[in-house]
Amino acid sequence: MKSVSPLIRGWLSLAIGGIAAYIIGMGLVFAVSGSWTYVHLVPILFATFGGAMAYAWGAAGISPLTKGLIWMNAGALGGFALGLMIDWLVQGSLDWAAPIASLFSLLAGFTAFFLGVAGLNAVSKGLLWQIGGTLLGAIFISAIRVAMGLTWSGPFLFTEPAWVLGGFMGVLFFLGGNGAVSDWFKWARGMDTPEHHEETHTGWVKYLNISFDHKVIGIQYTIVALFLISVGGLFALIFRTELAASQLQFLTTDIKLFGQNGPQLYNTFMSLHGMIMIVSILLGMAGITNFAVPLLLGAQDMAFPRLNSFAFWISVPATVLLLMSLILGGFDTGWTGYPPLSARAPVGMQMFFLGVFTSGWSSILGALNNIVTVIRMRSKGMTAFRMPIFVWAAIATSIIALTATQFIGLAFQLVMFQRLFGMGFFDPAQGGNPVLFQHLFWFYSHPAVYVFILPGLGVISELLPVFARKPLFGYRWIAMSSLAIALVGFLVWAHHMFASGMNEYLRVPFMYSTLLVAIPTGVKFFSWVATLWKGKIWAPTPMLFVLGGIVVFLLGGLTGPPNATVSTDLHLTDTYFIVGHFHDTIFGGFVFPFFAAIYYWFPKATGRRMNEALGKLHFWLMTPAFFVLSFGMMRIGLLGMRRRIVDYDPALNFDYTHLVMTVGGFLIAISVLIFIYNFFNSIKYGEKAEGNIWNSRSPEWQVASPMPAHNYDQPFEVVGEPYDYGLPGSKYVEFAAPAKATTHHKGEN
Q: Which residues bind other proteins (CB under 8 A)?
A: 187-190, 303-304, 307, 364, 368-369, 371-372, 375-377, 402-407, 409-411, 414, 417-418, 421-425, 430-433, 436, 439-440, 443
- CB closer to other proteins out of 410 and 676: 410
How many degrees, rounded to 5, is the angle at CA 588 between CA 406 and CA 672? 100
Of 223 and 372, CB closest to other proteins = 372
| Identity of the residue, 268 or 359, whose beta carbon is nearer to other proteins in the bound complex | 359
Q: How many helices (H) and strands (E) does the chain have?
A: 24, 6
Q: Which is nearer to other proteins, 382 or 544 (CB)?
A: 382
With b meaning 16 or more CB within 10 Å and e meaning fewer, what string describes 17-30? bbeebbeebbeebe
Q: How far is the CB of 285 from other proteins (least distance, A)?
A: 18
Q: How far is the CB of 140 from other proteins (least distance, A)?
A: 19
**CB proximity list for 499: less than 8 A, separation 6 or greater:** 569, 570, 573, 574
Could you tell me which residues come within 8 angstroms of residue 406 by beta carbon, excluding any fewer than 6 positions away?
360, 364, 444
Distance (Å, whole) CA 590 – CA 588: 6
Phi-psi region of 176 (alpha: psi -120 to 50; beta: other; left: phi over 0): alpha
The answer, yes or no, to whether the previous bond of 340 is cis (omega within 30 of 0) is yes
Q: Which is nearer to other proteins, 420 or 529 (CB)?
A: 420
**Looking at beta carbons only, is 640 or 715 nearer to other proteins?**
715
- Return the number of the residue (186 or 731) whose C-beta is nearest other proteins: 186
Cβ proximity to other proteins, 421 vs 685, nearer residue: 421
Q: Least CB distance from residue 286 to other proteins, whole Å?
A: 16
Chain center to CA of 494: 26
Query: Minimum CB separation from other proteins for residue 368, in Å?
Result: 5
Shortest Å, Cβ 349 to other proteins = 19
The angle subtended at Cα 234 by Cα 230 and Cα 237, nearest 5°, is 140
Does residue 20 contact residue 50 with C-beta atoms inside 8 Å?
yes
Give first-to-last CA distance, the chain, whole Å.
51
Q: Strand pairing partners for 260?
A: 257
Q: How far is the CB of 450 from other proteins (least distance, A)?
A: 16
**DSSP result, 196-235:** S------GGGGGGS----HHHHHHHHHHHHHHHHHHHHHH
CB nearer to other proteins: pick between 430 and 568: 430
Minimum gap (Å) between residue 176 Cβ and other proteins: 15
**Least distance in Å: CB of 194 to other proteins?**
13
Question: If you ran DSSP here, which 8-state letter would residue 109 be given?
Answer: H
Name the minimum Å distance from CB 269 to other proteins.
30
* Element of type H or E holding 158: strand 157-158
